[in-house]
């Protein structure tokens, strides 16, 4: 089975993990700092805090801002649940802004429409690896004195329209990455937050580890080297050295991964271009995307089929596919607790009805790619 996403692990990755297993530290050791420093080097951000997963990262990123309870946060409906759930975890009200029909990213004009006097944070999501229009989003946020947290779970290795790396926090207060196995690089589970703000950095470190500190400058007393204090209600969101060692080894292959993903995307685009009832992903030659996902828009109705049957036929041919994403506002929890309903965000809903993610990961062979192309073309050209 060719899955829609899969990790790429080589002997160097395995050796990196073995080295940690033979070392003195399995957690809270030097591998985490090394990994964080590598992310700082790649993104250009001043600070980095590694965490147990990207959801944890989003949770404490919002918490670090100390926003008003029951204030509002705006994010995209075309995303994984965590982008909105992190607002709920912090007692904020989740508000959605519809997406751009071409990029599938949150649309800045729609963000402006949703801003109220109660809006305190915007969480744009770099869908499939393509960075949002962060220049416009930052201008909007600055005009209204609103904080910005980038959800870059899909976008390690991507670049903004100005050519600089996603995660440098030029346009935001913080950026959150994911290292789940289907993402561009993996730590098994894991995430990271970058920021240029020292006070946010210190707050994130505290929240990551139970809200406690051993920083002598912050302690109210200091009876000895064993002493620590809990200054806030934090969490156990630490990354292990095992994960960090794998992540560091993976980061050394980031350019290789990006080039392989782009190569597969180019082959897909060439094969599917011009086929009736099939729309290719947004393409831009000026902006680098690390392409976490390859999403076709397929008009299943005009093809005389339904998505479920289309996917089953591909599965029967040994090809796994997925749908990214079910619009968050249509989830029962959000409908029950916040009154959202189908029809609230029509562009995201229309996108969802036609979306299908094809296999895309560096471990795919050229034969795998051709197998996917042949199978999809056979089904859409019947």
Say how far apart CA 49 and CA 306 lie, in whole Å: 44
**Residue of 22, 183, 279, 377 with catalytic role:** 183
How do strand 174-178 and strand 147-151 relate by DSSP bridges?
parallel
Between the alpha carbon of residue 13 and those of residues 10, 50, 246, 261, the distances in Å are: 5, 18, 6, 19
Give the closest residue to 86 by CA, choosing from 118, 56, 125, 53: 56
* 183 included as an active-site residue: yes
CB contact at 8 A, 155 and 149: no
Q: State the angle between helix axes of 307-316 and 366-380 in degrees (0 to 180), rounded to the nearest 10.
A: 140
Scanning 182-279, the segments in alpha helix (DSSP H) are 198-208, 241-251, 254-272
Supply the DSSP string of 1-31, one letter for each residue. -B-S------HHHHHHHHHHHTSS-SBSSHH
Say how far apart CA 81 and CA 307 lie, in whole Å: 22
Question: Which residues are annotated as catalytic?
Answer: 183
């Amino acid at each position: 089975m060719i899955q829609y996403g899969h990790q790429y692990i080589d002997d160097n990755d395995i050796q990196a993990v073995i080295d940690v297993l033979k070392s003195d530290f399995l957690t809270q050791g030097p591998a985490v700092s090394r990994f964080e420093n590598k992310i700082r080097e790649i993104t250009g951000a001043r600070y980095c805090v590694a965490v147990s997963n990207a959801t944890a990262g989003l949770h404490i990123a919002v918490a670090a801002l100390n926003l008003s309870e029951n204030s509002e946060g705006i994010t995209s409906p075309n995303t994984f649940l965590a982008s909105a759930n992190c607002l709920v975890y912090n007692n904020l009200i989740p508000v959605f802004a519809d997406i751009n029909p071409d990029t599938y990213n949150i649309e800045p004009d729609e963000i402006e429409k949703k801003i109220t006097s109660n809006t305190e944070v915007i969480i744009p999501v770099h869908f499939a690896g393509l960075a949002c229009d962060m220049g416009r989003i930052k201008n909007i946020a600055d005009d209204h004195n609103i904080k910005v947290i980038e959800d870059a779970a899909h976008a390690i290795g991507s670049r903004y329209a100005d050519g600089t790396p996603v995660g440098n926090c030029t346009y935001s207060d913080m950026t959150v990455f994911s290292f789940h196995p289907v993402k561009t690089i993996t730590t098994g589970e894991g995430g990271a937050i970058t920021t240029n703000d020292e006070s946010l950095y210190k707050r994130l470190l505290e929240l990551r580890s139970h809200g406690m500190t051993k920083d002598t400058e912050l302690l109210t007393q200091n009876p000895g080297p064993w002493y620590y204090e809990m200054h806030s209600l934090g969490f156990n969101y630490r990354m292990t050295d095992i994960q960090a060692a794998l992540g560091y080894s993976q980061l050394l292959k980031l350019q290789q991964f990006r080039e392989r993903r782009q190569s597969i995307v180019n082959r897909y685009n060439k094969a599917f271009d011009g086929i009736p009832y099939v729309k290719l992903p947004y393409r831009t030659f000026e902006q680098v995307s690390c392409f976490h996902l390859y999403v076709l828009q397929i008009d299943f109705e005009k093809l005389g089929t339904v998505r479920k049957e289309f996917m089953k036929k591909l599965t029967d041919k040994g090809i796994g596919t997925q749908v990214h994403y079910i619009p968050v506002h249509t989830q029962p929890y959000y409908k029950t607790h916040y009154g959202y309903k189908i029809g609230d965000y029509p562009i995201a809903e229309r996108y969802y009805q036609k979306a299908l993610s094809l296999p895309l990961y560096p471990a795919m062979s050229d034969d795998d790619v051709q197998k996917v192309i042949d199978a999809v073309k056979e089904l859409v050209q019947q």
